[in-house]
Structure 1
Amino acid sequence: MTIARREVLGLGGGLVAVLSLSQRDVWAEEVVEIRMQGRADGSHVWFDPIGVLIKPGQMVRWTNFNPGNSHTTTAYHPANFGRPLRMPESAKSWDSDYLLPGESFSVTFTEQGVYDYYCVPHEQAGMVGRIIVGEPEAHGGWMEAVAASRGLPDEALKAFPTVEEIRANRTIR
């Protein structure tokens, strides 16, 4: 079998095109895993990572790795138990309901902005997390949403990583 020069050049050009994809393009296709964790004695529970930066269209999957507890991932949104809005107004709210050990729940984020969420039974213990989607503009309303702290437990408010910290490191554990 003979391979024509044109075919070799075409294959080489295709390879160069694939290799030239930026890391950010490949990054958008990855599923971000967030583990729901807890100590065996129940004295401490948390999301790992607690803060993450993703691209619009990226999926986040929460999995309960805590053998002794059920957990939820629940958006701070009035639709969820009248909680304050701490996510983009135009984005769809979510609530996983209780996840038993080993169970997972996923959300695909399409709207740019800052999304805060919590575990319903463990919010008082500071089991909260923050997702930043894309590069939200400072005047886009996300700062006001993040500032909505009425009714949040002090432990939850202390646990949130800052927006700046997440932007600088992409993942906060």
Structure 2
Amino acid sequence: MTDGNVDMSRRAFLGAAAGGAAVAATSGTAAAQTEEPDFGGYLDGVDGGYEDLRGQSEVTIEVGAEGNGGALAFAPAGVWIDPGTTVTWEWTGEGGGHNVVASEGASLESGAPVAEAGTTYEYTFEEGDAGITKYHCAPHEALGMLGAVAVGGDVPTVEVGGGGGGASLPQVPDSAKALGVATTFAMIATLGLAYFFMKYGGDYDIQE
């Protein structure tokens, strides 16, 4: 085996290793895609963001958060929760009088609009509320003060990648995390073999 052939073998192997790493990285990017509830366009153009809050037994949503041209947003505007979760809407005291009124789904009704900071309204979403609940602030509905709650796993979803429809990133499903770990391991193993071949050579064909 000549030095030239050893160099060629090393270069060929490193090229393959780099290609494998690129494929693994691409797979990891694809795995980062996840799902969000499909609110049917109800929150399109609405400020306040979206959060996947499944796994939490208690969730707080701000009423009168900054957005929609003033303190006229629910934050987060969209949430995904488990049945049995208690949602508390808490008033910031900004943006005038607000309330929480269901447009569709669970029977949300906080009463007359109030402006006092610290006011709260609670509702526990049970199995019977599974699906999508849409709600609004009656005085500011036309200005985009809308919210929606997805309850349970049997809700329509849409695929997203790298970011949600709001202020926070969606959580990555366990399947995507597992794939990410597997691709990382594959990259490490490939680069380890590349180092071995660089150090000790990897073409054992006898050259005449």
TM-score normalised to structure 1 length: 0.53
**Structure with the larger helix share:** 2
Gap change, CA 1:101 and 1:113, over 3 Å in 2: same
Q: Distance in 1 between matches of 2:159 and 2:76?
A: 13
Gap change, CA 1:170 and 1:105, over 3 Å in 2: farther
> Which of 43, 55, 60 is the aligned partner of 1:27?
55
> Which of 104, 122, 140 is the aligned partner of 2:120?
104
Identical columns (%)? 31
Query: By how many angstroms is 1:171 displaced?
Result: 8.6
Q: Distance in 2 between matches of 1:137 and 1:64?
A: 28
Q: Distance in 1 between matches of 2:59 and 2:94?
A: 21
Q: What letter is aligned with 1:136?
A: D
Gaps of 5+ in 1: 1-25, 77-85, 139-162
1:74 matches 2:74: no
Q: Distance in 2 between matches of 1:53 and 1:94?
A: 16
Could you say which residue in structure 2 is the equivalent of 1:135?
A: 153
Gaps of 5+ in 2: 1-53, 168-208
Query: By how many angstroms is 1:170 displaced?
Result: 8.4
> Which of 119, 122, 127 is the aligned partner of 2:140?
122
Aligned residues: 108
Equivalent residue runs for 1:1-173 within 5 Å:
27-29=55-57, 31-38=58-65, 43-76=70-103, 86-87=104-105, 91=106, 93-97=107-111, 98-99=113-114, 100-110=116-126, 111-137=129-155, 164=158, 172-173=166-167
TM-score normalised to structure 2 length: 0.45
Larger relative contact order, structure 1 or 2 (CA cutoff 8 Å, min sep 6): 2
Q: Distance in 2 between matches of 1:171 and 1:55?
A: 20
Verify the 8 A CA contact 2:134 2:149 in the aligned structure 1: yes
CA RMSD of aligned residues (A): 3.0
Query: By how many angstroms is 1:115 displaced?
Result: 0.3
Instruction: Work out which of the two has the higher radius of gyration on C-alpha atoms and give 1 or 2.
Output: 2
